[in-house]
Structure 1
Amino acid sequence: MNAPDLSCSTLLLVDDEEANLDLLEGILAGSGLGNLLRTQNPFQAVELARQHRPDLVLLDLHMPGMTGFDVLRALREMDEPGDYRPVLVLTADVTPEARDTALGEGARDFLTKPFDIVEVLLRVRNLLETRQLYLQARRATEARERILGVVAHDLRNPLASITMQSEMVLQTLSPRSSPYVRDALSNIQQTSGQMYRLVEDLLDVAQLEGAGGRASVDLAEVDVHELLCTARGMLQPIAAGRKLTLDVDAPAGLRALADGARVVQVLSNLVGNAIKFTPTGGRITIGAAPDDACVRISVADTGHGIPAEHLPHVFGAFWQGDTADRRGAGLGLSIASALVAAHGGRMWVESEVGRGTTVHFTVPAADVLVAVPAGRGGQMVEVLTSA
């Protein structure tokens, strides 16, 4: 792989001593390291960073009016979550406290004055190369998300049409129809249905990534038993087709503060997984119970179980325990866990090989004060319901 081109990088030099700026500018310009901005005013440094979005900031710590620590905090606040814009601190303060505080405030590297020219150039190049690799990865991710969204969106309607029309034709076939025709139509219906669900998962992933991994929820008081019965009604035909029993085990009157449609979506993913991995004749139970200030909802199956070494990975996107399994893309649990997190809840798995798996998740009970993530900024929204 070729080294990143650093000549187009933008560097911001901040030091209240003009002689230091002259020295740094001479070193960096002589090495062909990008476009250089400089200022002796830390307040102006923040504004220059906002206007020019530099790839690297070289920052002194002790300046009049506004310290380098203040500049670090201001830079961190203007960056988007997950952004990587390195700051190299160059200071005459050799105390461990200064170093620890600077790194704690977001500096990526720290050198003391007087500095070695070769070492400065090496540190600057390393930080700029990391910045360029980060930008390349972000562009690749954004391109993938755009392609994913466009392709999935354009595939959804045709696949839905194929699924519905093949099902309609199946229902209108006479008993004397050819078994070959019936099997072929059934295969078309099942395969297109699987593809449709995959497209829905891909769209959910694209939406979540576009929102910084945070799902939107519309919280309202819901009857948990009714919600679980709704999910069972939707999923029962699929379970019956695999000759599986699908039960609901939840007390009447249990109420939660949740987005009902999102909870049903979580249950659809969890029950769908359970159906795939539970042998014919098995049982799947959708349950719920009060759990302190939450309602704990669970999906238990009598399937094959998950090996202990796989449990830490099950919520990762695109992860599958068996790479030869082509019944999905490994997105269901990742999407479900993001939806649960949007409620301020948590999700976990209990499993034993040969005995089955239970996936639990929590949502707030309907009579408590809850805080759930809202938006990309990670702010919290408080919702208070009556007891």
Structure 2
Amino acid sequence: MSSIRRQLIVALLAAVALTLLLATIGTYRVARQEVDALFDYHLRQLALSLRDQAFSSAHNPLDSSDLDNDFDFVIQVWTRDGTRLYFSHPHASLPDRAQLGFATIATAEGRWRIFAVALRDQIVQVSQPLAARERLAAAAAARTLLPSLVLLPLLAAILWWLVGRSLAPLDRIALSVRRRSPAALDPLSTARVPEETRPLVDALNDLLVRLKSALEAQRAFVADAAHELRTPLTALQLQAQLAERAATPAEREAALTELRHGLQRATHVVQQLLTLARQDPDAAPDRPPGPVRLAELAAQVAADHATLAEHRGIDLGVGEADAMIAVSGDFSALRTLVANLVDNAVRYTPSGGRVDLAVGSDGGAPWLEVADSGPGIPAEDRERVFDRFFRRQDTSEPGSGLGLAIVQTIAARHGARIVLGEAALGGLAARVVFPAAPAAPSA
């Protein structure tokens, strides 16, 4: 499991270590420049200090045996004609003569820094290995870095504490979320919330609001479903008792007929409830969406309801329909949507009336409309008819009050909207308006 605290500590310590490394490199380079300048000065001063010394091939005033082994400088003296008068370290592999002034040469023993000067009738050359300077510069850089390395564990502990303190608001948010229950989904407090965690708190509050709304809707749905099922189930029980108590075959047949009708109504309510649950916008789709031609869909639904329409004396047909208009969606769900609209139109339209299906497009937005010549729906009830189990008081048709709720739910799944208005036939026009297809990219 990844830990934000661990990641931050590792990242911060790595950044500190990298910074210290870069600082050490910079310190080494600066120290090296300072050491070079200082020792160049010493080379020159040491060479100039020998101008009053007398050198000869027979006698050396400076005896190399008296020099300390840690003495890094090598001194050479020549006459102007090239005769060597003195060499402090005979084993050193240095050139016999060098150019006057400062120079850096490479030898078998490494690179050397040399200063040569002409004094009277002699040439004095003082040399120093660059390795000595590098050791001094590295030691200076190490001394600079050492205190930081010693304090690195303390820095890690401080960073651990600071990161933990900075992450404390997340712990408080987690504790607040754990305290929530289905019975108490109050929003999280935004007091003392850092700006960086405010989007998280706002998102959680939005989720809590939607979850609370969903739970309330579920409770209301369960309560309404229980109420709606109680009546047909009670009627079934009474009709079964009447069938048991029937004294004659005619009474028993009449009771059984009523019992069958009651079973059909209860079955219809249960089927509508299952359909509504399957079509919930938050439910996973049964199949991926595909192209659905609305004209073909309207024709199939009209064919499915042809027998019912004929039985009730309704003229059902498909009018204006552009066969090329298609939407992306679930064909089975959209068929249920249109079937509910047509079923409502056929049932509420008086005998001898008319129900028309039409398909078209406005501004690139496809639509499918079901219009009838029935009594329609008053404007004040057009918003409420989509509520679950809502039934108008003046209706005499049996039903569950779930048909238009199912229509609304399926439309929401497809990003469509339902528009109820006056039909040219005199009744209700229910139009399903789908979102416009995205424009094709230009070449």
The amino acid that maps onto 1:60 is A
Query: Structure 2 residue aligned with 1:338, among 406, 409, 434?
Result: 409
Higher Rg of the two aligned structures: 2
In structure 2, how many angstroms separate the alpha carbons of the residues matched to 1:84 and 1:346?
A: 21
The 1:357/1:144 distance shift into structure 2, 3 A limit, reads closer
* 1:4-25 superposed Cα distances (whole Å, 9 cap, x missing partner): xxxxxxxxxxxxxxxxxxxxxx
The 1:185/1:290 distance shift into structure 2, 3 A limit, reads farther
* 1:104-163 superposed Cα distances (whole Å, 9 cap, x missing partner): xxxxxxxxxxxxxxxxxxxxxxxxxxxxxx79x9489459649959x98xx9xxx9xxxx
Tell me the residue number matched to 1:321: 392
The 1:145/1:262 distance shift into structure 2, 3 A limit, reads same
Query: Structure 2 residue aligned with 1:243, among 286, 302, 313?
Result: 313
* 1:247-276 superposed Cα distances (whole Å, 9 cap, x missing partner): 012133333323211111011110111112
Tell me the residue number matched to 1:230: 300
Tell me the residue number matched to 1:18: none
Query: Residue 78 in 1 paired to residue 204 in 2?
Result: yes
Q: Is the 1:148–1:203 contact (alpha carbons within 8 Å) kept by the matching residues of 2?
A: no
Equivalent pairs: percent with the same residue?
23
Q: Is the 1:228–1:286 contact (alpha carbons within 8 Å) kept by the matching residues of 2?
A: yes
Query: Residue 369 in 1 paired to residue 434 in 2?
Result: no
Structure with higher helix content: 2
Q: How does 1:1-387 map to 2 (within 5 A)?
A: 41-53=168-180, 60-61=191-192, 67=194, 69-78=195-204, 81=207, 83=209, 138=215, 141-142=218-219, 145=222, 192-207=263-278, 212=282, 218-249=288-319, 250-322=321-393, 325=396, 327-351=398-422, 355-364=426-435, 368-369=437-438
- Offset at 1:193? 4.3
In structure 1, how many angstroms separate the alpha carbons of the residues matched to 2:210 and 2:355?
A: 45
Tell me the residue number matched to 1:26: none
- Offset at 1:58? 5.3
* 1:285-311 superposed Cα distances (whole Å, 9 cap, x missing partner): 111112222221010111112222222
- Offset at 1:278? 0.4
Q: Is the 2:276–2:409 contact (alpha carbons within 8 Å) kept by the matching residues of 1?
A: no
In structure 1, how many angstroms separate the alpha carbons of the residues matched to 2:356 and 2:300?
A: 14
The 1:263/1:205 distance shift into structure 2, 3 A limit, reads closer
Give secondary structure in 2 for the equivalent of 1:336: helix
The amino acid that maps onto 1:332 is G
More displaced 10-residue stretch of structure 1: 353-362 or 299-308: 353-362
- Offset at 1:224? 2.3
The 1:194/1:253 distance shift into structure 2, 3 A limit, reads farther
- Offset at 1:282? 0.8
Q: Is the 1:216–1:342 contact (alpha carbons within 8 Å) kept by the matching residues of 2?
A: no
Give the number of aligned pairs.
Answer: 253
The 1:84/1:206 distance shift into structure 2, 3 A limit, reads closer
Tell me the residue number matched to 2:92: none
In structure 1, how many angstroms separate the alpha carbons of the residues matched to 2:421 and 2:217?
A: 36
Tell me the residue number matched to 1:21: none
In structure 2, how many angstroms separate the alpha carbons of the residues matched to 1:313 and 1:323?
A: 14
Q: Is the 1:223–1:254 contact (alpha carbons within 8 Å) kept by the matching residues of 2?
A: yes
In structure 2, how many angstroms separate the alpha carbons of the residues matched to 1:342 and 1:260?
A: 12
Tell me the residue number matched to 2:90: none
- Offset at 1:334? 1.4
The 1:40/1:298 distance shift into structure 2, 3 A limit, reads closer
Unaligned runs of at least 5 residues, structure 2: 1-165, 237-249
Give secondary structure in 2 for the equivalent of 1:81: helix
Q: Is the 1:217–1:342 contact (alpha carbons within 8 Å) kept by the matching residues of 2?
A: no
Tell me the residue number matched to 1:124: none
In structure 2, how many angstroms separate the alpha carbons of the residues matched to 1:142 and 1:352?
A: 36
Q: Is the 1:46–1:74 contact (alpha carbons within 8 Å) kept by the matching residues of 2?
A: no
In structure 1, how many angstroms separate the alpha carbons of the residues matched to 2:277 and 2:368?
A: 26
- Offset at 1:183? 9.2
Give secondary structure in 2 for the equivalent of 1:196: helix
In structure 2, how many angstroms separate the alpha carbons of the residues matched to 1:322 and 1:353?
A: 25
Q: Is the 2:315–2:355 contact (alpha carbons within 8 Å) kept by the matching residues of 1?
A: yes
Give secondary structure in 2 for the equivalent of 1:328: coil
Q: Is the 1:305–1:353 contact (alpha carbons within 8 Å) kept by the matching residues of 2?
A: no
Q: Is the 1:258–1:363 contact (alpha carbons within 8 Å) kept by the matching residues of 2?
A: no
- Offset at 1:345? 1.3
In structure 2, how many angstroms separate the alpha carbons of the residues matched to 1:246 and 1:337?
A: 23
Q: Is the 1:284–1:302 contact (alpha carbons within 8 Å) kept by the matching residues of 2?
A: yes
Q: Is the 1:271–1:299 contact (alpha carbons within 8 Å) kept by the matching residues of 2?
A: yes
Provide the alpha-carbon RMSD of the alignment.
4.4
The amino acid that maps onto 2:305 is L
Give secondary structure in 2 for the equivalent of 1:314: helix
The 1:327/1:204 distance shift into structure 2, 3 A limit, reads same
